[in-house]
Amino acid sequence: MDIQDERRRLLDAEGTDEYETVTGVRSEQDIYLDKVQNGKLYLAVFVSVLGPLSFGFVLGYSSPAIPDLITTNDDRVRLNDDQASWFGSIVTLGAAVGGLLGGWLVERIGRKLSLMFCSLPFVFGFAIITAAQNLWMLYVGRALTGLASGVTSLVVPVYISEIAHERVRGTMGSCVQLMVVTGICGAYVAGTYLGWRWLALCCSLPPTLLIVGMCFMPETPRYLLSQGKRREAEEALRFLRGPDAPVQWECARIEEACDHQGAGFKVSDLLEPCVYKPLAIGVLLMFFQQATGINAIMFYAENIFEDAHFDNRALGTVIVGLTQVFFTGIAALIMDRAGRKVLLCISGVAMTISAAVFGVFFHLTTGQHNNTSVRAMASGVEGSLGAGPEVDLAWLALASMGIFIAGFALGWGPIPWLVMSEIFPSNVKGFASAVCVLTNWGNAFIITKCFQDLLALLTNAGTFWLFSSMCAINVVFTIAFVPETKGKTLEQIQDNFRGTPAQFHS
């Protein structure tokens, strides 16, 4: 009996008696997925995305906390501009290191334990900030929460892609970014009511819930099978797919793919097209995500609102946060229907145009504010884009910023993380994802730190035109190189890179 017959027998054994529909032959996959119930899968995704929610809180924390720490009466923890800039950006350095640690952890202790582990530096980091008596405690707290964010940004997409099935994987995977932006927005909102110490305490709630909730969630079936634990893998699948699904069928399918992929990562694997091709795509997606300048533009947000005569800067940042949440939610809903490539292209075009218009805004208003506001904007601490005649054009800045942020949320925000979790063979997943996460956070650090120099070198307009050109390159790169992963199993995606015909269809 060949392998196809064996798998079909597993479906039949569970009472499947029809392969034909009115429209033609149904694939084994469809027959299997029709029997799946998703309730527990959604629960596991919900618990795991408390990780990205925590990491959103880390990213959002500095925006309300910095002005508070600059004006605090307690001179042991009062920040100057330079210290404030480190307080904001040290998180990205910690996260870059966290990416490396995460890549090692997911292979050593598995996906579930890595997720539980990353709650610890979140909670300790926020506890140290809450109790801070000097600047070093603030920096250490930020670096620890950054480290946890790096581990989370690697482990959660991997966990979700390995427990979800192809009908909902795009939507489930997009929940990672949805929770990141919800966390950012949550920190902005909570920051309007709470001082920096109470805010840090509040930020430690989601990671605490994560560690407790994960105790009740399963390890991923793929990881268990890669460890030769077939019985545990079937149990995990039974939990995730409900009582009616013939989980042995899915187990057989994953096992077969594991056999193809071999065990453990070896440097010689890098010569295989099914490794170097997805690795190059993953790294470039991460590089390009940061090259859009998203973090610099989010940094600008408060100044732009101020320029548009929004007296309440905090309200301005909350509006930015809500825009991100709204459009990331839309992306999550349509991801499995629209596909990754289309959304990346729409997102890239929207960002190319809006960043170019942003540049035009600066070009038209140059000379009136260039020298006075550059440093203030880059430090993100104080200052406005200027006052006077250019105020009339503030709507242009507001509109282009809104379109840029919405565009990012629709594609370039969630999709690099989603695609990273889909394209690597199991045996190189830890290593390859770590390289991607390192590229993303390393680049985020460089861009936020060099932003000030870029403004000085290229002028404000030139810097935004540079971001706009990067977004245009993103679109070309997407069309030429990014594979469409919508509706495919992880095994089919890897078969495509290997150049072998996709298996497991009908």
Determine, following the binding rule CB under 6 A, whether residue 294 of this chain makes contact with ligand BGC. Answer: yes
Q: What is the largest CA-CA distance in the chain?
A: 81
Residues 6 or more apart in contact with residue 228 via CB below 8 angstroms? none
Question: Closest Cα partner for 320 from 285, 352, 295?
Answer: 295
Give the range of 25-33, 195-203, 287-295, 450-458 binding ligand BGC by CB under 6 A: 287-295
CA 157 – CA 177 distance, rounded (Å): 10
Question: What Å distances lie between residue 486 and 82, 220, 307, 396, CA to CA?
Answer: 45, 21, 42, 36
Residues 6 or more apart in contact with residue 279 via CB below 8 angstroms? 270, 424, 428, 432, 435
Closest separation in Å from C-beta 505 to ligand BGC: 33
Closest separation in Å from C-beta 146 to ligand BGC: 12
Number of residues that bind ligand BGC (CB under 6 A): 11
How many angstroms separate the first and last alpha carbons of the chain? Answer: 17
Which listed residue (248, 295, 323, 433) binds ligand BGC by CB under 6 A?
Answer: 295
Which listed residue (171, 354, 400, 440) binds ligand BGC by CB under 6 A?
Answer: 440
Asked if 413 and 393 count as a contact pair (C-beta separation under 8 A), the reply is: no
- Tell me the two tokens of residue 325: 């949440």
Q: 364: phi > 0 → left, psi -120 to 50 → alpha, else beta; which?
A: alpha
Determine, following the binding rule CB under 6 A, whether residue 59 of this chain makes contact with ligand BGC. Answer: yes
Considering beta carbons, is residue 196 or 287 the nearer one to ligand BGC?
287
Backbone angles phi, psi at 24, to 5 degrees: 135, -155
Closest separation in Å from C-beta 350 to ligand BGC: 15
Determine, following the binding rule CB under 6 A, whether residue 282 of this chain makes contact with ligand BGC. Answer: no
Considering beta carbons, is residue 132 or 285 the nearer one to ligand BGC?
285
Closest separation in Å from C-beta 289 to ligand BGC: 6
Considering beta carbons, is residue 180 or 331 the nearer one to ligand BGC?
180
Determine, following the binding rule CB under 6 A, whether residue 413 of this chain makes contact with ligand BGC. Answer: yes
Considering beta carbons, is residue 292 or 463 the nearer one to ligand BGC?
292
Residues 305-364 that bind ligand BGC (CB under 6 A): 324
Question: Which amino acid is present at 79?
Answer: L
Considering beta carbons, is residue 123 or 154 the nearer one to ligand BGC?
154
- Tell me the two tokens of residue 68: 């508070």
Report, in angstroms and rounded to the nearest whole number, the Rg of the chain calculated over CA atoms. Answer: 24
CA 493 – CA 422 distance, rounded (Å): 8
Which listed residue (444, 447, 455, 493) binds ligand BGC by CB under 6 A?
Answer: 444
Considering beta carbons, is residue 158 or 444 the nearer one to ligand BGC?
444
Q: Kindly write out the interface string for residues 162-201 of this chain, putting x where it contacts ligand BGC by CB under 6 A and - elsewhere.
A: ---------------x--xx--------------------
Query: Binding residues for ligand BGC, per CB under 6 A?
Result: 59, 177, 180-181, 289, 294-295, 324, 413, 440, 444
